[in-house]
Structure 1
């Protein structure tokens, strides 16, 4: 009987210790369990939707890892609180910004379920100016095209926000692969920078948007380009993926923190 008595007393002592908070206040066991769950939330799944042109498709990636989008997956999956990252990729070679509205309309369901939407667009719009006015290229030609692009980008973001008001929207900026192919436009670096500035200004009007500048990555770095001297190669896509991840990491509460609430 004495042995059982000591066991009962010891059990009550253990329960009593567990039932008091750090301040000595009596705490119900369910409340203590709730605080534990609140402090360490269960991992969540993230749905990433990719839109855009050949860079989103991953053209030029000799390793076949899906370009920068595919390389984002392990980086995002390693974040605390993330269980899985599911990717739906609607990137397609040759797309210009006028081609994206129909894509959004056709995939409203997938976009509406997205936690993160990543986007590359504009490179083919710049190339269209080059092809259409190769013999009389000028800064004015690019300025007119840039203003039209910015207006369409604004409408594109309205469409995305209509479908999904909460997703983080990431636009990857343009880089300059033209330095060796457009000798008659020595200011092409300035043209790309101005184009990126216009895109950044449009995104600044919308909440939960991120502009990722990658122009500096490819300056005098031909080793990061595919043999077509236009698309990134595997190493180039690795650099883009890391830059996008770093930008997302700075706003982690938008796409990880919100999932854990």
Structure 2
């Protein structure tokens, strides 16, 4: 009889332990598990890039003895070495002698290419300055260039608005002006300041738009005849290489802009 009593007490004790254990487990607060998102580098998945080049003879590559297509083709080689770029297609619509007012019709005729582009490069303005020089050679002044620069800025703003209305995501890169006129225009000692004025004006226009980059190349040509073609106006192969290098440096600094995923 005593054995049955002891067995009964033992069963009651075990049941109590099990009950207390169940209550303790159920009373534990639920643990919040937060999974932190892991950032994936922009170049983790190589991309297919479409590049559209617009503008004047610098985009066409006039003066390049090596016939490599100026700065655009040299840039292409750098892009293809980038681990974030799988393929690069290039549409070059550069045309010698082109002024800013003549660029609008080209854009209008190629809206489909504008729409598809991931990167849009522009060189423009040198022929606009040359038009002023030819039209007012005997009465050139800083004031005249400053007045024309304001008109140029309005046209540039219109061009960018057209491009942005067609393609809101492409990164637009404008290559600034350099000064090849120091020796050829002795009657305008302020020509260096004129180039600075036009570059600063263009840079200010670009600043009104997202995903734009202004590339200053003026310092690459200052006091250097060895980077100019025999016409002393266009870059030679050395000059184009310097431009390509400077543009690519700027693109590396803004890699998130053109290589990163677009936010919806």
Q: Does 1:47 align with 2:47?
A: no
3-state DSSP class of the match of 2:232?
Answer: coil
Where does residue 29 of structure 2 map in the other structure? none
Where does residue 258 of structure 1 map in the other structure? 261
Where does residue 238 of structure 2 map in the other structure? 235
Work out the CA distance in 2 between the residues paired with 1:227 and 1:219.
16
Where does residue 7 of structure 1 map in the other structure? none
Matches within 5 A, 1:72-221: 72-221=75-224
Q: Does 1:223 align with 2:226?
A: yes
Work out the CA distance in 1 between the residues paired with 2:112 and 2:122.
17
Q: CA 1:37–1:241 in structure 2 vs 1: closer, same or farther (change >3 Å)?
A: closer
Report deviation, 1:241: 0.3
Q: Deviations over 1:20-45 (max 9, x none)?
A: xxxxxxxxxxxxxxx89989843211
Conserved 8 A contact 2:53-2:120: yes
Tell me how large the CA RMSD over aligned residues is: 1.9
Work out the CA distance in 1 between the residues paired with 2:40 and 2:138.
66
Conserved 8 A contact 1:41-1:260: no
Work out the CA distance in 1 between the residues paired with 2:237 and 2:223.
17
Q: Among residues 50, 61, 65, which one is paired with 1:58 in the alignment?
A: 61
Report deviation, 1:181: 0.4
3-state DSSP class of the match of 2:261?
Answer: helix
How many correspondences in the alignment? Answer: 227
Q: CA 1:105–1:247 in structure 2 vs 1: closer, same or farther (change >3 Å)?
A: same
3-state DSSP class of the match of 1:83?
Answer: strand
3-state DSSP class of the match of 1:258?
Answer: coil
Report deviation, 1:258: 2.1
Work out the CA distance in 2 between the residues paired with 1:121 and 1:141.
19
Report deviation, 1:260: 11
State the TM-score, normalized to the length of structure 1. 0.84
Work out the CA distance in 2 between the residues paired with 1:160 and 1:81.
25
Q: Deviations over 1:47-73 (max 9, x none)?
A: 000000000000000001110001001
3-state DSSP class of the match of 2:213?
Answer: strand
Work out the CA distance in 2 between the residues paired with 1:141 and 1:37.
52
Q: CA 1:192–1:37 in structure 2 vs 1: closer, same or farther (change >3 Å)?
A: closer
Work out the CA distance in 2 between the residues paired with 1:163 and 1:113.
9
State the TM-score, normalized to the length of structure 2. 0.83
